[in-house]
């Protein structure tokens, strides 16, 4: 795949000539924003409004907001890795037709290694991603089921940020401090608070996945039919990423208040021409048992329950990814100390730490861990071994990946996390934690509502590696559906009707580029092109990009000033990027375009 860029000297000549790059950039941005809001063909109702989503997410340290073309995927060079994916032939033909493509487009490309076996098509595919305001990344399920819920279809457009205030109203507690939305009108009449609220998040479980493989997800679709179902639910922010989506579900805040705008903050470390891509993960430090929950600047619903109920509500948040578990649960005991809530000697900090079971997987050891300063690790989670589970279910390996030790597990972590076996383990584990820490401890009928979050992140792993269109994704979704059905049965058995069950997703996913014909580009390539604006001797040791997510860029303004580089020149450098002789970006917006600075 050829990535081509306009010459940096040509761009500077434009900016110094009769037609300024500033006026060109302004015109493009104005046309883009106008089209998004007014154009009859540029933006259908189903297409998300980029400008509004970015305004909800705009931190003061972000200077540029990227608008990739439809089906264009931007990620780190990780995206260029490949895997062998399997597809049902007839279903693949139908998917290709959506993009005006046929099997012949796949067969003629030797990189895809096209084969047919027993009615299946086998392809070598690259990774896919999500982050944009396009419909495939933002259309998600949202259902509420259980005590006091008015079960019917609700047509209004809603976001994940509506979940926390709706649950706060059900639990009769105040909203977390980042909430800007109103509770959804789903309550028949106010009654006693439910004994437990269970929130299940299908990571990367957008409606494109659920519709394509509907036949293997009967529990999910039956739940939609008998629940308060919001059929026009969408991601309401950017980036459409795991950390941001789970934060939105747990706190009700938009990123502009929570400060959580992406999973990863990329920067380029340079020295004498050598360079290394640095990746700073949200909440993470070098030791994942020592996390930084205060990266999350807004309260979570769990934080409110911890204080309101004096640590007597049990909080559970389970995900194999730290960024999802903390985003849902919030801060645990750290929030009390940071905000002066815990008085000396009142035992609240201890009660919260002991009653907040928030845990994630250490990929280096294949073990569940937590930060014991703020949370607790359930005994049943300590005994859970994901590597042993993988070897048990796949003695001959999964899709050719025979993983038998922690080194191989770390190298193939995404594959190991993508399997139906991992999905089953996580479903069984969260039920075991409820049995151990709530029901077994006689806390399920103590009058204090317990709050449980689980993220089925295997859908995300399988989608990234094999594509949501693949048979691997179908098989994992089938197991997720089974676990959701078992979870509802478990709640009905132990709680009768005294529970509320919520199902949603953090984001959707783009189609495989091999199927859609879409483009792929890396953040390394974007930063390299921006740095061509610098003199070569300067670019060898420094970068104009302070940091970037996959959708937002913070610039090194001091370096820009030293070398007389304007923000419009940077925008032009990005806008000129072409992949296979095709422009990658629809546009690049500034804070001025979004009217953020007055």
Transcribe 454-475 into DSSP letters: EEETHHHHHHHHH-TTSHHHHH
Give all strands of the β-sheet with 82-88 in edge-to-edge order: 82-88, 120-126, 115-117
Does the pLDDT value for residue 14 go beyond 60?
A: no
Does the pLDDT value for residue 39 go beyond 90?
A: no
For 297-323, the pLDDT digits (tens) are 999 999 999 999 999 999 999 999 999
By the 8 A CB rule, do 466 and 85 touch? yes
For 537-554, the pLDDT digits (tens) are 999 999 999 999 999 999
For 345, phi and psi rounded to 5 degrees? 85, 0
By the 8 A CB rule, do 593 and 63 touch? no
For 279-301, the pLDDT digits (tens) are 999 999 989 999 999 999 999 99
By the 8 A CB rule, do 550 and 277 touch? no
- Residue 250, judged by CB atoms within 10 A of its CB (0-12, 13-18, 19+), counts as buried
The predicted model gives 121-129 an average pLDDT of: 98
The whole-angstrom separation of Cα 1 and Cα 11 is 24
CATH superfamily of 135-509: Alkaline Phosphatase, subunit A (3.40.720.10)
Among 506, 454, 67, smallest CA distance to 243 is for: 506
- pLDDT on residue 16: 38
The predicted model gives 10-26 an average pLDDT of: 39
For 229-243, the pLDDT digits (tens) are 999 999 999 999 999
Average pLDDT, the chain: 91
Does the pLDDT value for residue 404 go beyond 80?
A: yes
Supply the Cα-derived Rg of the chain in whole angstroms. 24
For 48-60, the pLDDT digits (tens) are 369 999 999 999 9
pLDDT band of 528, cuts 50, 70, 90: very high
- pLDDT on residue 536: 97
- pLDDT on residue 46: 31
- pLDDT on residue 260: 98
Does the pLDDT value for residue 345 go beyond 90?
A: no
Among 521, 520, 588, 574, smallest CA distance to 545 is for: 574
- pLDDT on residue 316: 98
Q: Residue 45, SS3?
A: coil
Long-range contacts formed by 79-82: CB under 8 A, 24+ apart: 79/126, 79/127, 79/128, 79/129, 79/520, 79/522, 80/126, 80/127, 80/520, 80/522, 81/126, 81/127, 82/124, 82/125, 82/126, 82/127
pLDDT band of 598, cuts 50, 70, 90: low
The whole-angstrom separation of Cα 513 and Cα 520 is 7
The whole-angstrom separation of Cα 24 and Cα 14 is 10
Domain boundaries along the sequence of the chain: 3-75+517-590, 82-126, 135-509
For 330-341, the pLDDT digits (tens) are 999 998 876 766
The predicted model gives 500-514 an average pLDDT of: 98
Q: What is the value of pTM for the model shown?
A: 0.92
Among 132, 139, 134, smallest CA distance to 234 is for: 139
pLDDT band of 191, cuts 50, 70, 90: confident
N-to-C CA span, the chain: 42
Alpha helices by DSSP H, listed for 498-566, are 513-516, 523-531, 536-539, 557-562
Does residue 565 or residue 27 have the better pLDDT? 565
- pLDDT on residue 597: 82
Does the pLDDT value for residue 32 go beyond 50?
A: no
The whole-angstrom separation of Cα 127 and Cα 587 is 24
pLDDT band of 188, cuts 50, 70, 90: confident
- pLDDT on residue 180: 97
Point out which residues pair with 120 in neighbouring strands: 88, 117
């Amino acid at each position: 795949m050829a990535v081509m860029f306009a010459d940096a000297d040509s761009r500077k000549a434009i900016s110094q000539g009769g037609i300024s790059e500033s006026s060109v950039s302004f015109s493009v941005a104005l046309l883009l924003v106008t089209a998004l809001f007014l154009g009859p063909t540029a933006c259908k109702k189903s297409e998300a409004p980029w400008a509004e989503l970015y305004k909800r997410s705009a931190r003061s340290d972000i200077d540029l907001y990227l608008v990739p073309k439809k089906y264009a995927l931007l990620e780190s060079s990780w995206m260029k890795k490949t895997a062998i994916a399997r597809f049902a032939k007839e279903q693949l033909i139908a998917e290709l037709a959506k993009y005006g493509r046929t099997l012949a487009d796949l067969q003629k490309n030797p990189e895809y290694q096209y084969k047919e076996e027993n009615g299946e098509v086998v392809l070598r595919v690259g990774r896919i991603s999500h982050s944009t305001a396009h419909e495939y990344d933002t259309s998600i399920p949202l259902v509420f089921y259980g005590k006091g819920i008015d079960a019917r279809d609700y047509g209004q457009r809603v976001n994940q940020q509506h979940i926390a205030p709706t649950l706060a109203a059900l639990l009769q507690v105040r909203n977390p401090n980042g909430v800007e939305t109103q509770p959804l009108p789903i309550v028949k009449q106010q009654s006693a608070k439910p004994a437990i609220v269970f929130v299940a998040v299908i990571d990367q479980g957008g409606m494109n996945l659920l519709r394509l493989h509907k036949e293997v997800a009967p529990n999910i679709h039956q739940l939609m039919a008998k629940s308060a179902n919001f059929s026009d639910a969408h991601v309401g922010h950017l980036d459409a990423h795991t950390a941001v989506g789970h934060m939105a579900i747990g706190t009700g805040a938009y990123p502009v208040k929570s400060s959580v705008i992406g999973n990863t903050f990329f920067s380029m470390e340079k020295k004498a021409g050598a360079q290394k891509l640095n990746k700073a993960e949200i909440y993470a430090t070098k030791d994942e048992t020592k996390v930084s929950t205060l990266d999350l600047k807004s309260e979570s619903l769990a934080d409110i329950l911890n204080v309101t109920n004096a640590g007597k509500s049990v909080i559970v948040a389970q995900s194999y990814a730290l960024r999802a578990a903390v985003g849902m649960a919030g801060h645990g005991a750290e929030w009390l100390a940071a905000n002066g809530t815990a008085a000396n000697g009142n035992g609240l900090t201890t009660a919260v730490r002991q009653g907040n079971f928030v845990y994630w997987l250490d990929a280096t050891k294949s073990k569940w861990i937590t930060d014991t300063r703020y949370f607790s690790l359930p005994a049943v989670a300590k005994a859970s071994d994901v590597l042993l589970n993988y070897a048990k279910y796949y003695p001959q390996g999964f899709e050719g990946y025979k993983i038998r030790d922690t080194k191989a597990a770390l190298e193939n972590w995404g594959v190991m996390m993508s399997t139906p076996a991992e999905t089953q383990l996580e479903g069984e584990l969260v039920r075991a934690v409820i049995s151990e820490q709530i029901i077994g401890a006689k806390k399920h009928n103590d009058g204090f509502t317990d709050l449980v979050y689980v993220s089925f992140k295997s859908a995300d792993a399988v989608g990234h590696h094999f594509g949501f269109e693949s048979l691997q994704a179908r098989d994992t979704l089938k197991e997720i559906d089974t676990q959701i059905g078992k979870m509802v049965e478990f709640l009905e058995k132990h709680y009768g009707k005294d529970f509320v069950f919520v199902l949603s997703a953090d984001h959707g996913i783009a189609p495989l580029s091999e199927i859609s014909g879409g483009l792929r580009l890396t953040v390394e390539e974007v930063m390299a092109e921006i740095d061509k604006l610098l003199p070569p001797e300067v670019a060898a040791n420094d970068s104009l990009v302070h940091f970037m997510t996959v959708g937002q860029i913070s610039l090194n303004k001091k370096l820009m000033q030293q070398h007389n580089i304007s923000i419009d020149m940077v925008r032009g450098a990005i806008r000129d990027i072409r992949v296979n002789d095709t422009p990658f970006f629809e546009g690049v917006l500034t804070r001025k375009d979004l009217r953020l600075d007055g």
